[in-house]
Structure 1
Amino acid sequence: MIELKSGSIPDIPLLWSLRTRAVRKLCASHYSVEQIEIWSEAAPPESYLRLLATDCALLAEEDGQLLGYGILDRQSGEVIALFVEPAHAGKGIGKRLMEGLETMAAEEYFSRLYLYSSLNAADFYRAMGFVAIRDDAYAHPSGISLRSLYMERDLPADSVH
């Protein structure tokens, strides 16, 4: 059974390793080999320290194995990250994580979530109720520009405290 639990600073290397596998495997269909190489070699952003220190990350685990993670910036309502182990993609893990992030957002009184979706993940986010507002160039910290979609989703009024 999949369990959601809070992430913390010591989890960053494990999370980043999962993220790198996901970028290499799941994003390769929508981005160039050069983009994937630069993207996957980037170090974790410094913002992960703040986000994981302030209870912004959820980990999805089963039998002690990390299957995915999501991060919500509790100050802005931005979904910073949502990655699933490639071998487990399409099994509902991302959906469980997004539902957990929505619960966190409701705790912070957000009425809307937003994110920058990689092109390969856009259909997943649409299925979760997000709407693409614009096609955007995401300025990745590594210095490359990645085509992405800026997406938003209103939270149900009854979920906002």
Structure 2
Amino acid sequence: MTITLHSASAADIPAMWALRTRAVRTSCASHYAPDVIESWSGAPAPDSYARLLAQGGGRLAREGDALLGYAILDTASGEVDAVFVDPAQGGRGVGRRLLAELEALADALALARPLFLYAALNAVAFYQAAGYVRRRDAQYAHPSGIVLDCVYMDKA
């Protein structure tokens, strides 16, 4: 089957969040303590998702009816808010395609550059391979109330 990209809507949030929870539990566990993974993966979807998707910043990767991954761009700020791929689909280029789609969206909207993000520790190499530059170690105040060690990155 062919991987296709689609716009995301608020109706997609439950499936997106379930995929994100699997990704956090699987892909992030090598870089974060078990108690952090438990809090992070147990958090509900943030209210901001509906707003960001309503602004047109969400993209889904599907193969048939299967959700392979998703990405969200805050079209107001230029922040790459999320790129998550189902752990069972890693290595297929899904994340690269989703990130490239967000970058094309930013160009189409003539968003100010650079795009920026707070990369989970396990995702730093992925973003570097896509041309993002590590600027500083940071902490991200997750909507669940936990603070995650991360890396602030941007791409001109």
1:128-150 per-residue CA deviation (whole Å, 9 max, x = no partner) reads 00001000011111221110000
After superposition, where does 1:64-79 map in structure 2 within 5 Å?
A: 64-79=65-80
The one-letter code sitting in structure 1 at the alignment partner of 2:132 is: F
Q: Which residue of 2 aligns with 1:125?
A: 127
Q: What letter matches 1:151 in structure 2?
A: M
Q: Are 1:46 and 2:10 an aligned pair?
A: no
Q: Which structure 2 residues correspond to residues 25-44 of structure 1 after superposition, within 5 A?
A: 25-44=26-45
RMSD between superposed Cα atoms in Å: 0.7
| Structure-2 separation of matches of 1:48 and 1:90 | 26
Distance 1:65 1:140 in 2: 28
Instruction: Note the alpha carbon deviations across 1:6-55, whole angstroms, 9 max, x for none.
Output: 00010000000000000000000000000000000001111011011121
Give the gaps of 5 or more residues in structure 1. Answer: 155-161
State the match for 2:147 in structure 1: 145
Q: 4+ residue runs of structure 1 moved beyond 2 angstroms?
A: none
SS at match of 1:97: helix
Distance 1:65 1:149 in 2: 31
- Where 1:136 maps in the other structure, the secondary structure is strand
Q: Kindly provide the amino acid, as one letter, of the partner of residue 120 in structure 1.
A: N
2:93 alignment counterpart: 92
User: Percent of pairs identical after alignment?
Assistant: 53
Q: Aligned partners of 1:121, 1:43: CA distance in 2, in Å? A: 21
Tell me whether 94-103 or 104-113 shows the greater mean CA deviation. 104-113
Identify the range of structure 1 (144-153 vs 103-112) with the bigger mean alpha-carbon deviation: 103-112
| Secondary structure, aligned partner of 1:134 | strand
When structure 1 is superposed on structure 2, of 113-122 and 50-59 the one drifting more is: 50-59
